[in-house]
């Protein structure tokens, strides 16, 4: 059987070499389908891997709590828009009343306005400026809750928070933009019209998927300082770190505390949102899986066209090689040998198209990484194996009818065929 299979592969490769252009045109649909599928899979896998890195950077045991669901949404409902903000007292109640919660931090930032234009916040130093700054105030505990660690300098202290000190930590991108050739520590930057002394530069966040913007355009000041400077802002984002292995218990406890404080009836849904890094990653995975399924359906059209082409060319090959089939049967070849000869030829044909498609898909992925570094792209090994396997399966399926037709030819009539 092994010898026969090797002979069949050799005959199939010989046929490919003798009819290069015809073979390529035959499997062009397979090449296009595999290329498109692999290119999209590489982008989706790259984005998903980087998104997971972004989420895990905030900590696997961290709860994200906000008046809207921190998960991924297509739109915000009118009911969500009418919700009152979370407060600092809510954060303190969670810290005092939830045994499974290890640490809590509240972050205050400009009020979320989903209707109408929002003026970007600008950070300035002398003649340089950065627009679209993520400006917020937090407690020192945010360092532990959200892994807000300074790569240079230090974090502000609780004493500086209570004294409403005008100090700030800036993101790495802001440091590069405002201080390209000098040390930012000790310098004074102006943010939203107020001046702050830079005491630290935050470590870069993993990933770069925030709507094409950098995740490191952040200016973080003490919570009380922010309240003093911007008393009109009251949107609080609460982070809570659960003890290891108690993330589910912590989520239930936090939900119970907030439902009581916000007077939510037992038969009504939450008027706040709680998510975890894993929960947001699962939502993102479902979205990418839906996109991948859609692309797979579209790509299957190319595979179907390629399969029909393979069947057509194999039927023509059976007609052209009728006398050869008769000779093989006359010297002892059985139907199984004839079937495997033509099936192998069909699978080698579509498998070659699959390999060309894989090479093209990998090339597209490498080009994307070179030209669009903000769009991650990676080709997993399983996708390559799957692509070649699917392409060969197309040949197996669509080559079955021509192979069976060839196997059932009468040897006497085949030998007399001109």
Secondary structure (H, E, C), 58-127: CCCCEEEEECCCCCCCCCCCHHHHCCCCCCHHHHHHHHHHCCCEEEEEEEEECCCCCCCCCCCCEEEECC
Distance CA 255, CA 234 (A): 21
Q: Is 157 helix (H, G, I), strand (E, B) or coil?
A: coil
Of 13-22, 34-43, 161-170, 371-380, the range with the lowest mean pLDDT is 13-22
Using alpha carbons, list the distances in angstroms from residue 232 to 53, 56, 133, 307: 35, 33, 19, 65
Query: What pTM, to 2 d.p., does this model score?
Result: 0.69
Percent of the chain with pLDDT over 90: 22
Q: Are 178 and 131 in contact (CB under 8 A)?
A: no
Q: What is the pLDDT of residues 217-267, one digit of tens each?
A: 889 999 999 999 998 888 899 999 999 888 889 999 999 999 999 988 888
Pick the closest to residue 385 from 358, 356, 418 (CA basis). Answer: 358
For the chain, percent helix, then strand, then coil, each to nearest 5? 55, 15, 30
Q: What is the pLDDT of residues 118-146, one digit of tens each?
A: 568 888 988 888 888 889 999 999 988 88
Q: What is the pLDDT of residue 328?
A: 73
């Amino acid at each position: 059987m092994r010898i026969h299979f090797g002979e069949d592969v050799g005959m199939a490769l010989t046929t490919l070499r003798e009819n290069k252009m015809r073979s390529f045109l035959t499997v062009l649909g397979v090449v296009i389908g595999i290329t498109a599928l692999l290119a999209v899979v590489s982008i989706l896998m790259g984005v998903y891997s980087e998104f997971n890195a972004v989420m895990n950077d905030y900590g696997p045991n961290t709860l994200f709590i906000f008046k809207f669901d921190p998960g991924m949404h297509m739109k915000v409902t009118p009911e969500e828009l009418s919700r009152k903000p979370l407060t600092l007292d809510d954060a303190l109640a969670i810290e005092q009343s939830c045994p499974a919660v290890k640490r809590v931090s509240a972050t205050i930032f400009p009020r979320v306005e989903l209707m109408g234009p929002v003026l970007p916040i600008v950070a300035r130093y002398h003649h340089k400026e950065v627009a679209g700054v993520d400006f917020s105030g937090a407690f020192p505990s945010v360092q532990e809750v959200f892994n807000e660690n300074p790569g240079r300098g230090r974090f502000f202290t609780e004493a500086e928070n209570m004294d409403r000190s005008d100090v700030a930590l800036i993101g790495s991108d802001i440091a590069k933009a405002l201080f390209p050739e000098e040390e930012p520590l000790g310098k004074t930057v102006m943010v939203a019209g107020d001046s702050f002394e830079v005491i630290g530069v935050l470590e870069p966040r993993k990933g770069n998927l925030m709507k094409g913007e950098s995740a490191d355009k952040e200016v973080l000041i003490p919570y009380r300082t922010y309240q003093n400077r911007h008393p009109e802002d009251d949107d609080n984002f609460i982070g809570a770190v659960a003890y290891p292995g108690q993330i589910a218990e912590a989520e239930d406890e936090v939900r119970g505390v907030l439902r009581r404080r916000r007077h939510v009836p037992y038969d009504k849904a939450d008027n706040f949102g709680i998510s975890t890094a894993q929960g947001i990653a699962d939502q993102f995975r479902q979205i990418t899986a839906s996109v991948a399924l859609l692309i797979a359906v579209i790509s299957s059209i190319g595979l179907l066209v390629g399969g029909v082409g393979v069947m057509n060319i194999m039927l023509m090959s059976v007609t052209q090689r009728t006398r050869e089939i008769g000779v093989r049967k006359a010297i002892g070849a059985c139907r199984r040998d004839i079937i495997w000869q033509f099936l192998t030829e069909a699978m080698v044909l579509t498998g070659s198209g699959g390999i060309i498609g894989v090479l093209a898909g990998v090339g597209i992925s490498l080009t994307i990484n070179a030209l669009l570094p903000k769009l991650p792209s990676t080709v997993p090994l399983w996708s390559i194996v799957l692509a070649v396997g699917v392409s060969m399966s197309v040949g197996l399926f669509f080559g079955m009818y021509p192979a069976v037709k060839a196997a059932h030819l009468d040897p006497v009539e085949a030998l007399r065929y001109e």
